[in-house]
Structure 1
């Protein structure tokens, strides 16, 4: 069937939709509100590309193994383009501890546990230029979608195109399918609901605020060696992560719970951001002025919410010809690094549905069923972890709080059992990574009797006998950190 597909948005979600559908031969028009990327390479894109529609453009990004595998298998030339542009592949061996290495034996599966990482602007630039090489794909930049074109027919509300505005004025574009990849700020759903569509939604706060700064290694400087402290950590009042990127660049992201108002106000100053990093053993070697220099301001991102939308299902009237992907459909906490992978999985699920049937009602039902199967377990897992983190953040700011016996047992099982087992046993690390990389249900590995038995053995082992498996303290406590930064550690407690 020859169809015309309109894709709203040329971000990662829209580009993944084009990657999935272009090889099927359909005519694809991508409607993008922002300007095309500047001429030149990755550095030009990072400094000069204006992307008002992508608020998280200059935050840390990585493609988990499932997305990297999709690119490698479906588009080997794109995979080569990304590597040629300086994108990095971080493999399984990078995650091994000294304990793992004592008995580590490589396995074929290890080749699949690879993270593809770089600056988001580099990823998007390379993918966009690859997509533009398809003769059946056109990207209309600086084209604003004013509204969807709809009509009511006996089957239900049908989307038949989009009304757009560009430098030449307003016009209507007709399409057989409209894919909404316009991100978390998409207005399409609101319009459809106003016209009578039923699109149930659940949403709640992720409970954190995000801050990112970019750095570049100095000429002649080498990347610091991975230390036992590691490049990620959770201090309760602060989470942090290090993201190696392309062409000698890297980024650091710091996350604070929403109630930490004093820290949030201070952390946007580059000198405070750097001072925090210098007090974290896993980050300090990277921000050493003799090794790297900051090359950006501190980018903040708040109002982070998880969101799950249903566009079909029992009791929901059919919505025809419209398919939201990426953040327009499911929005996740960026702390888990799953946003781009969710977008790609959604896009390829849509491809499979579209090529399998031409019936509009069957398509939307099958699409939602695939999303429920492929993404719902990860969404629920993330939501539960976010709820627990929000509770812990509030408890930390509550004077005199004492956790219950149940809370202490859960904390001990995770810290003295699960984490120690994963840091000690390479086979358990592989098992856990399958969930992390979205290769299977996120909790499946721990439900297997053999794996659970191993974890329980580590949990019941005396602490002094597994001392080498504990990571060093990731950083100072809240009071010490606040005092070193000249912040009042008790202000947020009073407000909370």
Structure 2
């Protein structure tokens, strides 16, 4: 049995505690926020989570996460459903007019509609019910305890320092065989390790957005609008979406550019947020009179980055022993894509399995576990990090181009000489954006093969490059793209920026 200290009681920390405890290890979770366990999910929504402000924003719980629970922790999945979560069978909600014939593997395309706070509430109860898990909430880790590569009576002073416990803010020392950092995207893991001579290589890139969210509850007798069209959109100056929750709740999120102070100021106002939700095609029905009512004020989240931390050196050797990071404390991706909770649970399960496989006795065990864990992370998580970086760069380029064109149009005396010229794609990124707009997105509404492949990728069941690697899918998308002049106009997703500002 290993003694494991987990720093942080978010999804990654609770998932690590649950997975490790279920194979016989003793786990102590140290959580900075003072969050006693409430009686029900509605009480969890009121948790004071300064350390994790994202908990009251929209979340996607993808099929990869749901299937992990189904296969490894079916009781937790059952508890989530009992707490009000619902399973979203994506292929049971096809676009209007599309017929889908069942295929093997379709049973995996199921996500969960649940608030982040409800998910954590169920996960915390499940972890604490294991009996060998204790939670210290309202307590912060102030420092790590290390020895110079020692385990028991063995000492390898040429090796990396070995983490053997933590100090907490009330002066106590918690001994550990393994310490797991799971404090989220705001946790400064390099600062914890730096006093012990450990340098963690870190790369980060701003996503270029902030997002604003608000939760709603259906009024008595009201139901969700029928899912006959898109539940989100991207208009360049704003992105938006609707996210079903548990117990007749849902959330609406707007994402705007980091430097768009005007939009941020407008949408921070509760009444303006509500008015904005009534303007866009995908959100208007959810906030129409008699349908729903807000249950919180507008929540804003900034400082959104894609960040990767490396815990192996250039030669592939661990820079620290007895220490791991999971979730956003290891690799953070743009939350707009909804992958964070799913990837955190994947890492938590992988780490728990590797603790069992390699044990905790001796430098060789620690090194083997660290190398295997980082390799698994490279396989399971880093491709999605790279995809997020690429998507965000493309979105920023698009926004900058639109801003330049708008400025040029406002200062021009008339239409440019090439305004009616045929499209040319000297810029590969511009061609990719056009192919998405006029090929992939329309194909999703008419071709079940493309839809199924897209949903598998979106839900982390297939690799982020799986669409581009599938010749059949690419052929179908290109056929739709080439027919773009012969089909009806695309659905209206909402007004342009000027129209939006005039409407509100």
Query: With structure 2 as the length reference, what TM-score do the two structures score?
Result: 0.90
Q: 2:498 aligns with which of 479, 485, 493?
A: 479
Counterpart position of 1:8: 7
Relative distance call for 1:95 and 1:202 in structure 2 (3 A) is farther
- For 1:240, what is the secondary structure of its paired residue? strand
- For 1:283, what is the secondary structure of its paired residue? helix
Q: Equivalents in 2 of 1:138, 1:40: separation in Å?
A: 18
Q: Equivalents in 1 of 2:17, 2:437: separation in Å?
A: 43
Q: 2:426 aligns with which of 383, 406, 421?
A: 406
- For 2:408, what is the secondary structure of its paired residue? coil
Q: 1:203-229 CA deviation, whole Å, 9 max, x = no partner?
A: 01011011000111111111111232x
Equivalent residues in 2 for 1:421-436 (5 A)? 421-436=443-458
Counterpart position of 2:54: 56
Asked if structure 2 preserves the Cα contact closer than 8 Å seen for 1:61 and 1:243, the reply is yes
Asked if structure 2 preserves the Cα contact closer than 8 Å seen for 1:198 and 1:317, the reply is no
Relative distance call for 1:94 and 1:205 in structure 2 (3 A) is farther
Q: Equivalents in 2 of 1:383, 1:95: separation in Å?
A: 30
Asked if residue 106 in structure 1 is aligned to residue 102 in structure 2, the reply is yes
1:170 shift after superposition: 1.5
Q: Equivalents in 2 of 1:100, 1:194: separation in Å?
A: 59
Q: Equivalents in 2 of 1:340, 1:387: separation in Å?
A: 23
Deviating runs (4+, > 6 A) in structure 1?
A: 401-404
Asked if structure 2 preserves the Cα contact closer than 8 Å seen for 1:37 and 1:125, the reply is no
Asked if residue 207 in structure 1 is aligned to residue 203 in structure 2, the reply is no
Q: Equivalents in 2 of 1:462, 1:441: separation in Å?
A: 28
Equivalent residues in 2 for 1:250-261 (5 A)? 250-261=250-261
Counterpart position of 2:175: 174
- For 2:51, what is the secondary structure of its paired residue? coil
Q: Which of 38-47 and 337-346 deviates more?
A: 38-47
- For 1:57, what is the secondary structure of its paired residue? helix
Q: Equivalents in 1 of 2:342, 2:78: separation in Å?
A: 19
Q: Equivalents in 1 of 2:32, 2:56: separation in Å?
A: 18
Q: Equivalents in 2 of 1:17, 1:231: separation in Å?
A: 33
1:348 shift after superposition: 1.6
Counterpart position of 2:25: 26
Q: Which of 181-190 and 259-268 deviates more?
A: 181-190
Unaligned runs of 5+ in 1: 486-496
1:461 shift after superposition: 2.1
Q: Equivalents in 2 of 1:309, 1:429: separation in Å?
A: 34
Q: 1:268-297 CA deviation, whole Å, 9 max, x = no partner?
A: 001111111111111111111211111110
Asked if residue 65 in structure 1 is aligned to residue 63 in structure 2, the reply is yes
Query: With structure 1 as the length reference, what TM-score do the two structures score?
Result: 0.92
Counterpart position of 1:75: 73
Asked if residue 345 in structure 1 is aligned to residue 346 in structure 2, the reply is yes
Q: 1:455-475 CA deviation, whole Å, 9 max, x = no partner?
A: 2222222532x43xx651110
Asked if residue 289 in structure 1 is aligned to residue 289 in structure 2, the reply is yes
1:324 shift after superposition: 0.6
Asked if structure 2 preserves the Cα contact closer than 8 Å seen for 1:232 and 1:240, the reply is yes
Equivalent residues in 2 for 1:307-456 (5 A)? 307-315=307-315, 318-358=319-359, 359-398=365-404, 399-400=407-408, 405-407=425-427, 408-456=430-478
Q: 1:161 aligns with which of 122, 143, 165?
A: 165
Asked if structure 2 preserves the Cα contact closer than 8 Å seen for 1:259 and 1:394, the reply is no
1:339 shift after superposition: 0.6
Unaligned runs of 5+ in 2: 150-156, 360-364, 410-418
Q: Equivalents in 1 of 2:305, 2:456: separation in Å?
A: 25
Counterpart position of 2:115: 119
Q: 1:17-40 CA deviation, whole Å, 9 max, x = no partner?
A: 112211110111111122233532
Q: Which of 360-369 and 202-211 deviates more?
A: 360-369
Asked if structure 1 preserves the Cα contact closer than 8 Å seen for 2:4 and 2:177, the reply is yes
Q: Which of 31-40 and 418-427 deviates more?
A: 31-40
Asked if residue 145 in structure 1 is aligned to residue 151 in structure 2, the reply is no
Counterpart position of 1:242: 242
Asked if structure 2 preserves the Cα contact closer than 8 Å seen for 1:270 and 1:298, the reply is yes
Q: Equivalents in 2 of 1:419, 1:152: separation in Å?
A: 55
Q: Equivalents in 2 of 1:197, 1:343: separation in Å?
A: 24
Q: Equivalents in 2 of 1:178, 1:317: separation in Å?
A: 15
Q: Equivalents in 1 of 2:212, 2:131: separation in Å?
A: 39
Asked if structure 2 preserves the Cα contact closer than 8 Å seen for 1:197 and 1:317, the reply is no
CA RMSD across the alignment: 1.7
Counterpart position of 1:274: 274
1:187 shift after superposition: 3.0
Q: Which of 356-365 and 4-13 deviates more?
A: 356-365
Q: Equivalents in 2 of 1:381, 1:188: separation in Å?
A: 24
Q: Equivalents in 1 of 2:198, 2:58: separation in Å?
A: 36
